[in-house]
A and B are shown apart, each in its own frame.
Chain A
Amino acid sequence: MLRGTLFGGTVAIGLPMLDAMLPARSSAQAGVAPKRIVFWFTANGTRQDVWSPPASMDLSGHPMHASLAPFSQKLLFLDGVDQDVAYDSIGDGHQTGMACLLTNAEILPGSLFCEGSCDGPTPQYVGWGGGQSVDQYLADEIANDIVTKFRSLEFGVQVRSSTVWSRMSYTGPDQPVPHREDPNQNFNDLFGDLDTDPFELALIRKRRRSVLDAVMVDHEAFNRSLGYEDKQTLDKHLQSIRDLEARLDVAGSIGEACQEPTLTLPGSSFQQNDQYPVTGRAQMDMLVMALACDMTRVASIQWSRSVSNVQHNWVPLRLGEGHHDLSHYDDGNADSQADLLEINKWYSEQFAYMLGLMDGIQEGENTLLDNSVVVWVNELGKGNSHTRRDIPFMLAGSAQGYFNTGRHIDFGGEPHGKLLVSLTHAMDKPVSTFGLPQYSQGPLSGLT
């Protein structure tokens, strides 16, 4: 049974129905679970002075990561990996930290967003990120092998706005990818078909296909009448309809890994600050369920956005300010340092929660976590200096043994583009460089 609380009511979905679901087209071979990759974003840097693990990798007494102790042998802590590209790019610290994070590309010139230091008679404006992000590259490559229900899933927890500060995934230059932020809607979109009679579901899909066919015919005539720039916009719109149609019949492939989750949904208040933990928890529950059901191979969950000013009132705070405000105090301020530790410790606990879900799902000899790599990313190293050096990158899961986990490596200043290259290798879609070549000459050495 899938079970959840939807808009205050209880949702229960009978599992027997699942047997009748169509499997993913060219689903994974029996016994060979697919690899998955998940990006996990938190904002405003970290407490770099306490972030690293001890040499023993025993995290049980760690001030920030104690909750990750059960998974320490499945983790890779990366010190000394820098976003060099962010220092070449136009844009302020948070903008570059965010838009270059998964693209390793410079921000595009443009007139959309005021750069932090814009002043004077020639204000500095920037556009969107300037390249495809590595998650979207992998989604494209994997889509050539298999059509999953979703090409990729981008979950957000109170991201809210759509700006260069809030988008890390790009299908291409100037093409930001929005998030699924409403857990209630998410539940419907991901699992809504499951409680429908298979015969009825087949009819619904036939109907949806016919509707989309008619819409596409309309689009083709419409798009032909437009001038160049408008046609670019509308052609992209049309391509998304084609893609949606191609995935209509695809369900998740159902196996024992498709576990029964218990969800608590936040109702319509999911954007309220105090609902942040509940919303995040629901999103993680559904993300892991979607992976277990092989609805996608590529996913991300973004907590708030760069410059997040979420008030983490559920952890003990001394100053009681928003996250970004707290991150701007001097390192010598004991109160803000204590608060930042509490906040990052809380995120570490959330990370541990999701890893626990993934590690609890057995897929043959491996767990879902073993078959995946979860990449914890951040737009900054530390908030008050806006440094984009020594970003607190952490990997969890070995991607079926590709990464040699249970270690802490200090790279002493390698460009983060090489980490992105490593991820393409881990997912068996290797590239030699990703984004700017000068900052991505091959994978990081020593990870495997």
Chain B
Amino acid sequence: MRPLRLGRHGQLSAALGAVLICGCTGLIGSGGDGSADDAVAKELCVVDTPIRRMTRFEYNNTVRDLLGDDTNPADVLPPEEEVAGFNNQAGALSTSDLLIEQYANVAETVSARAITNMGALMNGCDPATQGNDACALSFIERWGQRAYRRPLEQEEIDRLKGVFDWAVADPDLGTFEDGIQILIEVVLQSPNFLYRPEFGSDTPIEGDVVPFTSWEMATKLSYMLWNTMPDDQLFEAAANDALLTREQVGAQAVRMLADDRARDTIRNFHKQWLLLTQLENVTKDTSIYPAFDASLRPLWEQEIQTFIERVILEGDGSLETLLTGNYSFMNEELASFYGDDVVEPVTGSEFRQVQLDPTRRAGFLTSAALMATHANLNQSSPVFRGKFVREQLMCNTLPLPPNDLVIEPPELDPNKTTKEQFEEIGADPACASCHSLMNPIGFIFEHYDGVGQWRDQQNGKDIDAVGEVVQTDDIDGTYDGAIELAQALAASTQVQECVSSQWFRFAYNRSVTQLDSCSIEQINERFAASNFNVRELLVELTQTNAFLYRRAVVAEQGSAQ
């Protein structure tokens, strides 16, 4: 068996600036040919991202904001490629015949729905009095600018007007509404809508490094912080060319985080980072966990997401509160599931803030959403819980079991605790090298049974929630219970830097590369200076050179084949 070494995804060495986080391919400008321009880009820490295609989530949000269509029409598209923990990684999103076929289907249904409310589309222009042409042209310029997130070029306006003209001249179509519907259908399949092209402005700041245009910056900000298209204020700022400086961009970011649309992004990130996507498949043996009911799953998710969102957007925003806060949000049904852990009465189906027993619950870490997901059908799982902490919170990469290793988990033994059983496997030398990294962390969560409820005893024995954490940067030691561990995690540089690197990947739609060292250093410094305020981290992610600049595009000449 190979000796075990731990991967350190988020670890940063101050001397080196950054280690390679997830490797990188094709993300770095035009390749390192050692030109003067490469040196400039490297010096400025400017790293380009492949062209971004909207995810299904972003598409749904965008047509909601563009057309008032809240039917989530993009749900039928094929799933995004998942890379480095997220489904929005620009270099990984590929196209396929099926995707393009479904884009056409979705555009057809969305455009048909859109023209059922012509009043909203026409913005006061009445074709009966002002004429078809005038209203079509004003629609193309005004709505087209929102759909392409920049003013249309005259050639584009002419082309779209030609589409409209064809439709109204066609004897089988013929109405003004037909023309508008076809226009929308075309625009929704345009690469200008589906992708986010970024060319930058014409004037380099140095070498071939150029700032983004204000229109591009409006789009970058809105998709990063809202996962949707820009609002009127961003468009206005773009039209005034007022999204050029670091300060202008930062001020918009602060404003945007106070908007409800930021909630979508916060939830989207945590759903992926905290693996809440797995919740829908959680099921339990109800002979062992009679409290379990499938109807609890959405309540668990609502609880953890509400808590996180409120802490970040309305609370102190700190990582410490996320990990250790002794309050949560629940309704009567959920509160009765948690029992004595909720120290105040809760009635009714509405969620509200409740105080939790601080000796039993700490932040999102001990929530039922996580405890029940990272457990087995009929018992808790120290392995899964340890793996979750290692991989998601500490950015370690744990090896899978060796290819040819036969694994034999313990069967339920009514005379032993789960910890005792897993200690036996952990002692097996074939397993110990890996499981010593996971199981003891999992033991610390043993007060939470397989469904996430507090227990003092198992099989007539007192719970022993002591575990030793080893091979970390800064939290090695013995902990008794998850409250102690949560406090250590909140104070750990490894965890703090892991959180910032997760957000980096999600927000920038790419992995961290070696050339990102100065950006990473800057982000981590400011994150620390804010006492690890996630809201500040998000603002800071808009302040790096990597966010503000790119290298000039060298267009690949030749017509598309």
Could you list which residues of chain A lie within 8 angstroms of chain B, going by C-beta atoms?
A: 92-93, 110-114, 116-121, 123, 125, 127, 151, 154, 160-163, 171, 174-182, 185, 188-189, 203, 206-208, 210-212, 214-215, 217-231, 233-241, 243-244, 271-273, 311, 320-321, 325, 328-331, 333, 384-387
Q: Are A227 and B554 in contact (CB under 8 A)?
A: yes
Closest to A94 in B: B400
> Given A118-B399, A119-B4, A321-B376, A111–B406 Cβ distance below 8 Å?
no
Which 5 A-B pairs give the minimum distances between C-beta atoms? A111-B23, A120-B5, A178-B78, A116-B400, A240-B100
Q: Are A219 and B78 in contact (CB under 8 A)?
A: no
Q: Are A224 and B82 in contact (CB under 8 A)?
A: no
Picked from B5, B99, B554, the residue with its CB within 8 Å of the CB of A119 is: B5
> Given A113-B83, A119-B399, A328-B407, A218–B559 Cβ distance below 8 Å?
no
Q: Are A233 and B95 in contact (CB under 8 A)?
A: yes
Question: Complex formed: what's the CA distance from A110 to B81 in Å?
Answer: 14
Q: Are A219 and B191 in contact (CB under 8 A)?
A: yes
Whether, in the assembled complex, B511 has its beta carbon less than 8 Å from a beta carbon of chain A, the answer is yes
Which residues of B sit under 8 angstroms from A185, Cβ to Cβ? 76, 102
Picked from A92, A127, A154, A227, the residue with its CB within 8 Å of the CB of B556 is: A227
Number of chain B residues whose Cβ lies closer than 8 Å to a Cβ of chain A:
86
Q: Are B403 and A92 in contact (CB under 8 A)?
A: yes
Task: Quote the shortest CB–CB distance from A95 to chain B (angstroms).
Answer: 10
Question: Complex formed: what's the CA distance from A228 to B31 in Å?
Answer: 12
Q: Are A384 and B407 in contact (CB under 8 A)?
A: yes
- Can you offer 9 A-B residue contacts whose CB atoms are under 8 A? A111-B24, A118-B397, A123-B7, A171-B96, A180-B98, A211-B186, A227-B30, A235-B560, A328-B407
Q: Are B94 and A176 in contact (CB under 8 A)?
A: yes
Scan residues 69-112 of chain B and give those whose CB is less than 8 A from a CB of chain A: 76, 78-84, 92, 94-102, 104-105, 107-108
Q: Are B182 and A162 in contact (CB under 8 A)?
A: no
Closest to A273 in B: B281
> Given A161-B82, A182-B76, A219-B191, A226–B407 Cβ distance below 8 Å?
no
Question: Complex formed: what's the CA distance from A87 to B232 in Å?
Answer: 56
Which residues of A sit under 8 angstroms from B5, Cβ to Cβ? 119-121
> Given A119-B5, A177-B96, A237-B191, A224–B101 Cβ distance below 8 Å?
no
Whether, in the assembled complex, B553 has its beta carbon less than 8 Å from a beta carbon of chain A, the answer is yes
Majority secondary structure, B binding face: loop
Whether, in the assembled complex, B189 has its beta carbon less than 8 Å from a beta carbon of chain A, the answer is yes
A-B contact count (CB 8 A): 223
Q: Please, what's the 1-or-0 string for B144-178, where 1 marks a CB less than 8 Å from any CB in chain A?
A: 00000000000110011011001100001100000
Question: Complex formed: what's the CA distance from A281 to B121 in Å?
Answer: 43
Question: Complex formed: what's the CA distance from A316 to B59 in Å?
Answer: 42
Task: Quote the shortest CB–CB distance from A267 to chain B (angstroms).
Answer: 13
Stretch in B192-200, B315-323, B328-336, B520-528 touching the partner? B192-200
Question: Complex formed: what's the CA distance from A92 to B78 in Å?
Answer: 25
Picked from A93, A179, A203, A387, the residue with its CB within 8 Å of the CB of B78 is: A179
Whether, in the assembled complex, B557 has its beta carbon less than 8 Å from a beta carbon of chain A, the answer is yes
Which residues of B sit under 8 angstroms from A210, Cβ to Cβ? 163, 166-167, 182
Q: Are B554 and A229 in contact (CB under 8 A)?
A: no
> Given A119-B399, A237-B95, A189–B554 Cβ distance below 8 Å?
no
Question: Complex formed: what's the CA distance from A47 to B401 in Å?
Answer: 21
Q: Are A177 and B98 in contact (CB under 8 A)?
A: yes
Closest to B75 in A: A182
Whether, in the assembled complex, B473 has its beta carbon less than 8 Å from a beta carbon of chain A, the answer is no
Q: Are A229 and B79 in contact (CB under 8 A)?
A: no
Whether, in the assembled complex, B295 has its beta carbon less than 8 Å from a beta carbon of chain A, the answer is no
Which residues of A sit under 8 angstroms from B102, Cβ to Cβ? 185
Q: Are A118 and B76 in contact (CB under 8 A)?
A: no
Question: Complex formed: what's the CA distance from A123 to B395 in Å?
Answer: 13
> Given A114-B397, A119-B6, A215-B186, A162–B78 Cβ distance below 8 Å?
yes
Q: Are B50 and A110 in contact (CB under 8 A)?
A: no
Which residues of B sit under 8 angstroms from A272, Cβ to Cβ? 280-281
Picked from B8, B23, B82, B554, the residue with its CB within 8 Å of the CB of A125 is: B23
Q: Are B101 and A244 in contact (CB under 8 A)?
A: yes
Q: Are B559 and A151 in contact (CB under 8 A)?
A: no
Task: Quote the shortest CB–CB distance from B272 to chain A (angstroms).
Answer: 12
Which residues of A sit under 8 angstroms from B190, Cβ to Cβ? 215, 218-219, 222
Which residues of A sit under 8 angstroms from B96, Cβ to Cβ? 171, 175-178, 240
Q: Are A234 and B191 in contact (CB under 8 A)?
A: yes
Closest to A123 in B: B7
Which residues of B sit under 8 angstroms from A203, Cβ to Cβ? 172
Q: Are B79 and A237 in contact (CB under 8 A)?
A: no
Question: Complex formed: what's the CA distance from A311 to B78 in Å?
Answer: 23
Whether, in the assembled complex, B404 has its beta carbon less than 8 Å from a beta carbon of chain A, the answer is yes
Task: Quote the shortest CB–CB distance from A20 to chain B (angstroms).
Answer: 18
Query: Can you name 18 extra interface pairs (CB under 8 A) apart from A211-B186, A225-B553, A240-B99?
Result: A111-B22, A111-B24, A112-B83, A121-B19, A162-B80, A180-B98, A212-B189, A219-B560, A225-B199, A226-B556, A227-B553, A234-B51, A235-B561, A237-B191, A238-B560, A328-B407, A384-B406, A387-B404
Q: Are B105 and A240 in contact (CB under 8 A)?
A: no
Question: Complex formed: what's the CA distance from A174 to B26 in Å?
Answer: 13
